[in-house]
Amino acid sequence: MARLWPFFCLWLSLWSESVLGSILAIDYGADFIKASLMKPGQPFDVLLNRDSKRKIQATVGWKNKDRLFGQDAANIAGRFPLDSFSFLKVLQGAPYDSDAVFSFGAISTADTVKTERGTVALRRSDGTEWSVEELVAMQLSYIRDLAESTAGEKVYDVIVTVPPYYTQFERDAVVDAIEMSGLRTLSLINDGTAIAVNYAMTRLFPAPEFHIIYDAGASSIRATVVEFAPVPAEGKSKAGKDATQITVRAVGFDRYNGGTELDARLRNMMVADFEKRHKRSISQDKKAMAKLWKEAGRVKAILSANTEAQATIESLAYDIDYKAKFTRAQFETEARDLKHNFALPIQEALARSGLKLDDITSVIMTGGASRTPMIQEAVKAAVGAGKLAFNVNADEAAVLGAALHGAALSRQFKTKDIRITDIGPYDIQVSYQTESKAGARPRNINTVIFPANTKTGTKKTLTFKRQEDFKVKLAYKAPLLRGYPVDILEADILGVSEAVKNITEAGATEPVVKATVMLSESGFASIRDAVVTGEFKDESIAGPSSSAPEEGATADVGTAEEDTTSSSSSSSAAEASATSAAAVTKEPINLEIDVKFASIPPMSLAKKRTGRDRLKAIDAEENVKRRKEEARNTLEGYIYKLRDLLGDDSSGSPFMKCSQASERRRISEKVDEAYSWLQEHGDDAETIQYIDHRTALESLERPIVHRYKEIEEFPQALNNSQMWNWSSRMFLTEAKQNMTKELEAGTPTKYTKDELDEFEKSLKEHETWLNEWVEKQKSVKMNEDPVILSSEMRARAKVLENQLQKLYRKRPPKAPKKSSSSSSSTTSATTATTSASATGSAEETASTSGTSSKDPRHQEL
């Protein structure tokens, strides 16, 4: 398969000519972020950060007033533990009192605060608070800037991976962050599904296969049962190319058991070891805990490949340098209670899919934590060593699969035909009250409308027999985890009574309310629309119907059915037209839907605008600061460069050869002045002041640089001018010779005498000018300004070149056509000449033909 990859990349680069823009794919992990850019003309690969790294630490932080991203932000955690924010993924859309926030507090040194929406914000050491969505938006904006630097254009559309277990609240948080970052959400894709797309990129499936995508990440473990199958011939595109159908059958997951939990166990070992040896507590020392966390991650990575590792932290706490050796056996003993949980997601996914282990072709291992020996052993024990497969990139498969799926969604790229069908993992129910009746209390009706494993992209229609406005609520059937609400949204269906009255007056019977509920491809449940509709009797065909419906036949039962479309056949239409009092469906009346969020609402438009403005403000401030730093660094570097040039004692350097003593003295004075100013006022200066000082220095050095460049360019410019002189002279000589021959032969000449004379005049003027000024230049010293510029030489030579090219490309004139009278006279003359020749040279003709002129028969004739 590795051999197919270059061909696949080449094939993927054959883009549609109507491309509208680039597409960014982001795999946002708890520990690392990976991104991929789909752009015409660029290789399909992972996006590199400014340090040429293929993955970026999922951390944002501040060092005093400087905002940092990635590894730089993670590295300052030991010094600024309240200003370095990692593991934000576990807090997306999480209620403040949930298990997610408790788990975050166990591993992070950051201070959490509650937002107005009941979610989480993080507080910096200076008291500034940032919501999790804003902090994630900063990271996405940073990735967007990297993508735009690579693409050379603006990037707007993004597809982001999310865990399949994400609730609607968490998915809302992701979309809110995307919008605040200045990007547009093309789609959200479950990470297991994205890995499946990556797996199918270079493979064909002649027959259906079942695989388990086992994704062991930093924050959680997910298992996705996927079916890969060929698309039937009738379902293929018009081109008839091979297509693959990816169908997610089920998912299993463990939200809080992953690489991060293993890091926490290893850090706990270090804390216990330090406190035992030094009899001092460090668990409340945020700086020490941040340093230990970083070292725990490093040691864990070493233990994945080695049986022991050395932990070393300089000045961990109390000015004590910490050193300790840990073995893999010790580590696995500390985490032995977790081991049986590693394979549980696989067992859950299999049970929900209705498949058996024998039906599974392989378990595809992905995720950074899948390299941990203890996790591999647990999976091997559960499924058998023969089923483990390491045939995708554990770190990059998700982002590459997401990028390919994003390209397919955009309709702008030509990609391999891979179709996906995903599922929602939770039961989603609709709740409403029955209509009030005399003497009876309304009942609450709860109906599961999207059972677990429902395909995303499914629409269902709810039918209500209602006369008044009513409410419909969407909620999860059962609590998903502690602290998370079940209510998704509540919708008021408004304008029912007026719509029923209008449609009834129009002749409708049995008016009902139909509401469409959808589970989108990105996993969002929503009420899309609501209408009032009914049946009308067409009395133009026959009399009114004699059979009235029974009262209550369309009672308020809240029936739900798949929203499918079907067209009547011609026979059905004929049968309907022959039916007495046939039912005729008219246009339904749309109702107003007022959606409310009773639990955790997504960010309001006003909140998102405020967040976006905060991000823009900090971006603008950093851009000003960056330009100022660049201007200062440029000035400082320029000062040192000029000092080096002035301090070069060798007379052979270009600077010394091309400069005069007075010029060097003025530059030296200006350099000293600029250096003194930089030392005294550099920290408080404005950007324009740095630029002004550099401009003053450049104006003094510019004549010297100009001389040196002219010395370098003069030989080439002179050679070019002389070459066109020689070419022009050769052309003139040949053109004059040809014109003389053409005149002697009486044929039209290609060039006129005036044209050649004018060109010769230009040539002589150029030769004279060049010889004169080259001679003058010979007397100019290297540290004096040149009297003839190479640019002027090239310009004058270009004029001569253009004249020559114009003459050279001139087409020769066509020979004049002969008139008809001339042709007739010529023909007559030719005939007469031929006759005379035949009579006057009879003997010669006979002799030539070999026949004797004395033959008596010829004389008689």
Matching residue, tokens 């081991």: 339
Domain spanning 627-808: CATH 2.40.110.10: no
216 contacts 342 by C-beta, under 8 angstroms? yes
CA–CA distance, 431 with 445 (Å, rounded to integer): 6
Distances (CA, A) of 638 to 629, 643, 646, 651, 767: 14, 9, 12, 21, 43
Residue 820: the pLDDT is 52
Q: What angle do CA 332, 335, 341 make, to 5 degrees?
A: 115
CA–CA distance, 46 with 770 (Å, rounded to integer): 56
Helical spans, DSSP H, in 108-254: 132-151, 168-180, 191-200
**pLDDT, the chain, mean:** 86
Matching residue, tokens 């050769």: 730
Residue 746: the pLDDT is 84
Within 8 A by CB and 6+ apart from 213, the residues are 192, 195, 196, 199, 222, 223, 224, 226, 364, 366
* Residue 125: closest CA among 90, 76, 91: 76
| Angle of the 397-410 helix axis to the 191-200 helix axis, nearest 10 | 80
- Residue 231 carries which side chain, given as an amino acid letter? V
Burial of 226 (0-12, 13-18, 19+ CB in 10 A): buried
The CATH code belonging to domain 426-543+553-563+579-603 is: 2.60.34.10
Q: What angle do CA 223, 213, 522 make, to 5 degrees?
A: 75
Residue 755: its H or E element: helix 753-778
Token code pair at residue 242: 């091979």
* Residue 601: closest CA among 115, 216, 164, 2: 115
Token code pair at residue 605: 């438009």
For 509, other C-beta atoms within 10 Å of its C-beta total 15
Below-70 pLDDT ranges, the chain? 1-20, 234-240, 438-439, 538-586, 650-651, 815-861
Residue 5: the pLDDT is 39
CATH class of 260-339: alpha beta
For 279: left if phi > 0, alpha if psi spans -120 to 50, otherwise beta; the answer is: left
Residue 652: the pLDDT is 77
What is 4-257+341-421's CATH number, 3.90.1330.10, 3.40.640.10, 3.40.91.50, 3.30.420.40?
3.30.420.40
Alpha-carbon dihedral sign for residues 598, 600, 604, 607: positive
Residue 263: the pLDDT is 94
* Residue 584: closest CA among 639, 534, 635: 534
CA–CA distance, 180 with 575 (Å, rounded to integer): 57
Strand intervals (E) in 29-77: 32-38, 56-57, 60-63, 66-69
Domains of the chain, by residue range, sit at: 4-257+341-421, 260-339, 426-543+553-563+579-603, 627-808
Residue 51: the pLDDT is 86
Residue 537: the pLDDT is 72
SS (H, E, C) 693-716: HHHHHHHHHHHHHHHHHHHHHHHH
CA–CA distance, 756 with 731 (Å, rounded to integer): 10
Beta bridge partners of 389: 364
DSSP 794-814: HHHHHHHHHHHHHHHTPPPPP
